[in-house]
Amino acid sequence: MSHSSPTPPAVERPAAARGFLTRLTVISTLGGLLFGYDTGVISGALLYMRDDLAMSTSEEAWVVSSLLFPGAAFGALLGGRIADALGRKRSLLMCAGIFLVGALGCAVAPDVALMVVARIFLGFGVGAAAVSCPLYLAEMAPADRRGRMVTINELMIVTGQLLAFAINALLAVVISDSHVWRVMLGVASIPAIVLLMGMLVLPESPRWYAARGRLDAARNVLSRSRSADELEAEMSEIVGTASAEGNARRHAWKALRDNRWMRRLLYIGFGLAAVQQATGINTVNYYAPSILTQTGLGDEAALIATIGVGVTSVTMTIVGIWLLGFVGRRTMLIIGFSGVVGAQVILSLVFLLPPSDAVSYIILGAMMLFVAFVQGFIGTVIWLLLSEIFPLAIRGLAMGLAVFVLWTVNAGISYVFPIIVEGIGSTLTFALFAAVNAVSLLFVLRVVPETKGRSLEMLENDFRTQSIRTLTRRERLTGAR
């Protein structure tokens, strides 16, 4: 077999096909917008909720982390199986319903216990959407547009976080009431309704159809965005993959047990999920206002300043999506983790300065530098890699397991972060994150394969017939194309 696969050239498609792909991307990634809003809104809501509900430090940590674990973690774990059983489309419809009910439940929760229950329920939708949306986009996208279509979901996630920061700041200024946090949390019901209505008009994934022998349905869906030549070539690849896998796609656990190469890819997926969260990005997303108020800023000033973090996230995610058209996945991760280590060293040193408004803004600037490297070079790429590396036979299951790991690590870090900061201080906490991310950089260098420029079926064939070490060595020698 050849050791390289040509990068598919960009294809000029009819306006109808481009319009279909644009509508599909915008509607389906509303799940990502809700993901971002629901995880980001808590940062501002906490400033008011902790007094209104008389929360202790431990209860505050539970309110933040319960959405992540057990909520999002088990949502991801079961979401992959649901996406396989019901289809990617119906899975996203289910998520929209959960987002709607969960947002309203959080907004009306009368005490900490019911807030935690509502956050767990909402988290199930966040986790399931985190699996279903990238899978749906990766399986619907033409090979030449897959990278950018899938990473639009990451853009929507950070846009949702920016909206949360901005709406939190706006509501804090406009509504002088200790119950303002209820409005902050309830706003998420609006995009949930739009997602629910929008998904009703979109088709199911052609690869989900093909995995169940419904080749005519798969062909009809592909025909809406592929030229005649693309359609025949892609259907040939899909049918060939389905034939090679046989019945394994219906028995994902058996496929994992019987195929060592699939297990290796699953372990790499676990590693990617863990190192994304080990950056510490969500310590900034969830606790930035709290960190800034502790350095001397008032509540409203801290909420407004946090908008800068959201703007940085959105801007750098757009830059990252643009770079993916030219730069390999591995190269992006290497740049990202190198930058994160440097930014966290700077951040840890800045905390040694005596508290003042000026120091607060220096800390904000260091946070923005850190966020720039994570969102521009890591966040966009890891979600894309997780949607690409798993073979069809285990794709839904493996994506669910990997995202389960992602949310579990996220929850653990989010829960212990305020406790660690209280115990050893901000300087040592961020120095610890820098050391962890240096290890993450070594992981990327040693085992993460390059996926740029290959169809999902080409990647599956490469992974089946060549070792990961061979593939990564080849990329180190030749560079990503």
Res. 383: pLDDT tops 70: yes
Q: Is residue 243 part of a domain?
A: no
Number of domains in the chain: 1
Predicted confidence at residue 450, as pLDDT, reads: 86
Res. 249: pLDDT tops 60: no
Predicted confidence at residue 475, as pLDDT, reads: 60
- Closest Cα partner for 398 from 258, 265, 259? 265
- Closest Cα partner for 147 from 387, 471, 337, 462? 387
322-355 pLDDT per residue, tens: 898 888 899 999 999 999 999 999 988 988 888 7
Task: Give the pLDDT band (50/70/90) at residue 246.
Answer: very low
Average pLDDT over residues 428-457: 89
Report d(CA 362, CA 305) in Å as an integer: 11
Predicted confidence at residue 243, as pLDDT, reads: 58
Report d(CA 51, CA 66) in Å as an integer: 19
Q: Is residue 113 part of a domain?
A: yes
Q: Is residue 239 part of a domain?
A: no
Q: Is residue 240 part of a domain?
A: no
Q: Is residue 245 part of a domain?
A: no
First-to-final CA distance of the chain: 19
161-178 pLDDT per residue, tens: 889 888 988 998 898 888
Report d(CA 412, CA 415) in Å as an integer: 5
Res. 1: pLDDT tops 80: no
Task: Give the pLDDT band (50/70/90) at residue 120.
Answer: very high
Average pLDDT over residues 389-416: 84
Percent of the chain having pLDDT more than 90?
A: 33
DSSP of 62-75: HHHHHIIIIIIHHH
Residue 362 CB: number of other CB atoms within 10 A? 17
Predicted confidence at residue 454, as pLDDT, reads: 76
Predicted confidence at residue 7, as pLDDT, reads: 46
Q: Is residue 226 part of a domain?
A: no
Q: Is residue 9 part of a domain?
A: no
Q: Is residue 185 part of a domain?
A: yes
Yes or no: say if 33 and 159 are a contact pair by the CB < 8 Å rule. Answer: yes
Predicted confidence at residue 2, as pLDDT, reads: 36
Which residue type sits at 142?
A: P
Tokens of 108: 């009306």
Beta carbons within 8 Å of 335's beta carbon, 6+ residues apart:
373, 377
Report d(CA 189, CA 175) in Å as an integer: 19
pTM of the full structure: 0.74
Predicted confidence at residue 299, as pLDDT, reads: 74
251-275 pLDDT per residue, tens: 778 888 888 899 999 999 999 999 9
Please state, rounded to an integer, the average pLDDT across all residues of the chain.
85
Residue 57, classified by CB atoms within 10 Å of its CB into exposed (0-12), middle (13-18) or buried (19+), is exposed
C-alpha dihedral (280, 156, 49, 412), degrees to nearest 10: -30
467 vs 277, more confident: 277
Which residue type sits at 121?
A: F
283-325 pLDDT per residue, tens: 777 677 777 777 777 777 878 888 888 899 899 989 998 898 8
Q: What is the CATH number of the domain that holds 299?
A: 1.20.1250.20
Print the domain residue range for 187: 15-202+251-478
- 401-404 contacts: CB < 8 A, separation 24 or more? 401/77, 401/80, 401/266, 401/269, 401/270, 402/76, 402/266, 402/269, 402/270, 402/272, 402/273, 403/76, 403/77, 403/79, 403/80, 403/127, 403/130, 403/131, 403/273, 404/73, 404/74, 404/76, 404/77, 404/127
Which residue has 């959407």 as its token pair? Answer: 129
